[in-house]
Amino acid sequence: MAEELKKEEDTSAHLERMKKNLEVTVKDLQVRELESEFETEQRRGVDTIKGVRKYERRVKELTYQDLAEKLQLKVKAYKRKNKPTLTWPSSGRCQHGLEEAEECADITESQVNKLRAKSCDSGK
């Protein structure tokens, strides 16, 4: 009977050790699984950050493109606004008008000079 008790105690001790070993193995596997999930989540986070940066760059590009287009439209509007309204045919009319004005100015100037000369002669 003592022998059977000893056998049972040995068997019980052996089963306890096996149970503890299995518990340690289960905990190790749980840790590995959690580490694997953690690494997967980290990769997803990195990929998400890359995607966000990519879309931020795209938004900036589109914003700058829109701004450039608006500035080009403003430049065109300023050019149209400040474009001389004279065309070649009407510039000929303007040139003719300018020549007439210059002739009138010359005639007026010569008349003023004659009047000055007369006033100088009469003042002596």
> What is the arithmetic mean of pLDDT over 77-99?
72
pLDDT digit string, tens, across residues 90-121: 666 777 778 888 888 888 888 888 887 777 77
Q: Are residues 108 and 69 in the same domain?
A: no
Domains held by the chain: number: 2
- Residues 24 and 62 reside in one and the same domain: yes
Examine the domain organization and report whether 46 and 101 are in the same domain: no
Instruction: Kindly state whether residues 52 and 93 are assigned to the same domain.
Output: no
Q: Which domain holds residue 114?
A: 89-123
26 and 37 share one domain: yes
96 and 116 together in one domain: yes
Do 80 and 112 have their domain in common? Answer: no
- Which pLDDT score, from 0 to 100, does residue 89 have? 57
Residue 95 corresponds to which amino acid? Q
CB neighbours of 94 closer than 8 A, spacing ≥ 6?
86
- Do 3 and 47 lie in one domain? The reply is yes
Q: How confident is the model at residue 90, as a pLDDT?
A: 61
Residue at 3: amino acid letter = E
**Does residue 80 share a domain with residue 101?**
no
- Confirm if 86 and 94 have CB atoms less than 8 A apart: yes
Mean pLDDT of 20-43: 98
pLDDT band, very low/low/confident/very high, at 88 (cuts 50, 70, 90): low
> Are 16 and 45 contained in the same domain?
yes
Model confidence band, residue 122 (pLDDT cutoffs 50, 70, 90): low
